[in-house]
Homo-oligomer: A and B are copies of this chain.
């Protein structure tokens, strides 16, 4: 049950899940997560100056990649990985060999439920991923697979088996994930409402996927989780997770996979600078007005039977339909292709398989 925070004696999926953390600083925030994260393997993607040493608290099992490592491992294909932007985190998804990924920002702490209990965010994400999704019809009592609840009257029986869940999108107490204009207008707004629900985002509906507190099934959807070209040398930032979310949702809808949002909450400790954010976002604010209709109307052909094929097909549509908005989208379409090439290079077994199962090792 959500809200029943606990430190399981045998951590769920200990050997099947990596925690990916992009950072530019010492990872003191891990101290608070120690009881929950220590059993798992961490993949730390160091952004910015590679000569800087990132301190990781003792006792954690981790691998760390800085820009030099990324360049060495990917060679010329490293161009698809953003620099000076947390979009670089998707490199961690690529080098992982696990079935599941949980990614979290280093300014996110353990939240408490209304009873004052610490929330084991990772445990809730795993529950979300292991239970089916229901994208074809809305259940008014929310997640029908949760204890104490079921499908309500009028829910077609043929749809009650659900589909595999590919993505679990968690939320944030304290600092909400607002854009720069909203931050500027409502500098003091804090999210204090704990909504005790998990729900499937219906098929055909897009949502703003935030990368702050996110888990997914790498085997089911990994290659779609590309965080795009952001930051250094790019005309846009803070749309990395949004881009990944829109692509992922279109591909999940096409492949019949589920996307959930809601629990678990983390405590988002501090708001980023809205002036800096506005500078990063302003192109995105314009462009998203055309991106949303693009993704809402995107149709993938029947040949697209793997995430990779879907993603390559989407990259063609990006070039064709978004290239005219700005040359940036041609560059992005190229990077999408490079990303898939790099993914398949690092994940040779997954590249061939139509239907991945078992672990990717």
> Interface residues, chain A, CB within 8 Å of chain B?
114, 137-142, 148-159, 169, 171, 176-179, 181-182, 186, 189-197, 201-210, 238-239, 241-242, 245, 261, 285, 288-289, 292
Q: How far is the CA of A149 from the CA of B245 in the complex (A)?
A: 22
Q: A140 with B171: in contact, given A152-B208, A182-B150, A208-B153 (CB under 8 Å)?
A: yes
Is there contact, CB below 8 Å, between B138 and A171?
Answer: no
> Which B residues are CB-close (under 8 A) to A193?
148-149, 196
Q: How far is the CA of A148 from the CA of B173 in the complex (A)?
A: 12
> Which B residues are CB-close (under 8 A) to A288?
154, 156
Chain B CB within 10 Å — which of A141, A151, A191 has the most? Answer: A141
Is there contact, CB below 8 Å, between B242 and A153?
Answer: yes
> Out of B176, B207, B210, B261, which one reaches A149, CB within 8 Å?
B176
Closest chain B residue to A286 by CB distance?
B157
Q: How far is the CA of A159 from the CA of B292 in the complex (A)?
A: 10
Q: How far is the CA of A148 from the CA of B151 in the complex (A)?
A: 31
> Out of B157, B159, B178, B292, which one reaches A137, CB within 8 Å?
B292
Is there contact, CB below 8 Å, between A141 and B171?
Answer: yes
24 contacts between A and B (CB under 8 A): A138-B201, A138-B207, A138-B208, A139-B208, A140-B261, A141-B171, A149-B189, A149-B191, A152-B177, A152-B208, A153-B178, A153-B182, A154-B179, A154-B210, A154-B241, A154-B245, A157-B285, A158-B289, A193-B196, A195-B196, A201-B202, A203-B205, A204-B204, A204-B205
Q: A157 with B202: in contact, given A150-B182, A152-B208, A189-B148 (CB under 8 Å)?
A: no
Is there contact, CB below 8 Å, between A148 and B192?
Answer: yes
> Which B residues are CB-close (under 8 A) to A177?
140, 152-153
> Which B residues are CB-close (under 8 A) to A285?
157
Q: How far is the CB of A84 from chain B (nearest CB, A)?
A: 19
Chain B CB within 10 Å — which of A154, A181, A190, A205 has the most? Answer: A154
Q: How far is the CA of A155 from the CA of B288 in the complex (A)?
A: 8
> Which B residues are CB-close (under 8 A) to A157?
181, 285, 289
Is there contact, CB below 8 Å, between A176 and B152?
Answer: yes
Is there contact, CB below 8 Å, between A194 and B192?
Answer: no
> Which B residues are CB-close (under 8 A) to A137?
205-208, 292
